Amino acid sequence: MTDTTPSDAGGAPRAPRRRRRVLRWILGGLGTLVVLLVAGILIYSQVGVMGAEAEPLAAARANPGLSITDDGAGIVLTPSAGATGQGLVFIPGAKVEAEGYIATLADTVVGDGITVVITKPWLNLAFFDPRPLSTYIELAPDVTTWAVGGHSLGGVRACQLASDADALVLFASYCANDLSASGLPVLSLSGSADGLSTPQKIADAKGELPPTTTFIEIPGASHASFGAYGPQPGDGRPTADPAEVDRVIAEQLAGFLPRP
C-alpha cells in the first residue's frame, strides 16, 4: 500500500512539524505572559510606596527610651529600660515602608515596655512574603509572649499567622480566614473616619473572629492614622489628633497583650 501522508521534500511528515510549531508558539506565549505578570507585580510593588514622615520618625529616633535596630528581616523596637517580656510582631500595610510605623508604636515600647518587631515584607506586600512568624520572633529572644498584628493588608496576613501566636491584633484590618472557633484573644482597632477598612467592612467581617474579640473604634481616626506615613489615596479625612491616636493604641495594647 502506498503512504499518502503529505511530506516535505526531505521526506519528513508535515503534520508533526506543524504540531511542534504550534507548541512552540503556545509555550512562547505563556512564557511572555509570565514575564509580563512578574514585571507588572514588580512595578506595582515599587510605585507609590509610602515612606515615613520625616518629623515623627526623627522624634522617635531621638527618644532616649527607644532602641531601634534594623535586622534586614524586620525593625526591632525595644525599650531602653523596663522590658516586660511582651512582644508584638507588626506587619505593615501594602506598599508602606516599615519605618512608617516606628513613631506610631513608640509609645507602646517606651511607655509600656513592650518589644515590637516591624516586619519588612518582600516587595512591600505581605502576601508575597512566605516567611513564618518564627523569623521575626527570633529577632527578640528575650520576649516570652507574642502577639501578631498588622495594619490593613498586613492584618490580613497576620490572621494567617495567628495560630503560631498568643494573641492577634488588627489595626484597621480584618481577617479573610475563619478564626471564630480558635479561642484566640483578638483585639480589633479601627477608625471611624477610615475610607478603606471602613466601619462597615469591619462589621461585615466580625464573623471570622472569636466571639470574645474586643472591638475598639477610635473616633476621627482614618486608615493612615495607624501609621506615620502621610495621607493615603482613597482614605477618609481624619479629625483625630495623631498623638491621641497613638496614645489610644498604646493604652489598648498595654491592657490586652498577654503577659508572661
Dump pLDDT digits (tens) for 6-17. Answer: 455 555 566 677
Helix (H) or strand (E) run with residue 189 in it:
strand 186-191
Model pLDDT, residue 179: 98
Lowest mean pLDDT among 35-44, 66-75, 180-189: 35-44
Say which DSSP state 139 is in: T
pLDDT tens readout for residues 116-155: 999 999 988 998 899 999 999 999 999 999 999 999 999 9
Do the beta carbons of residue 147 and residue 163 sit within 8 Å? Answer: no
Integer Cα distance of 179 and 161 in angstroms:
11
CA distance 60 to 103: 5
| Tens-place pLDDT, residues 31-66 | 665 554 544 444 444 556 899 999 999 999 999 999
- CA-based nearest residue to 225, from 93, 126, 32: 93
| Cell output for 197 | 477598612
In DSSP terms, 90 is beta-bridged to 118, 149
196-252 pLDDT tens trace: 999 999 999 999 999 999 999 999 999 999 999 999 999 999 999 999 999 999 999
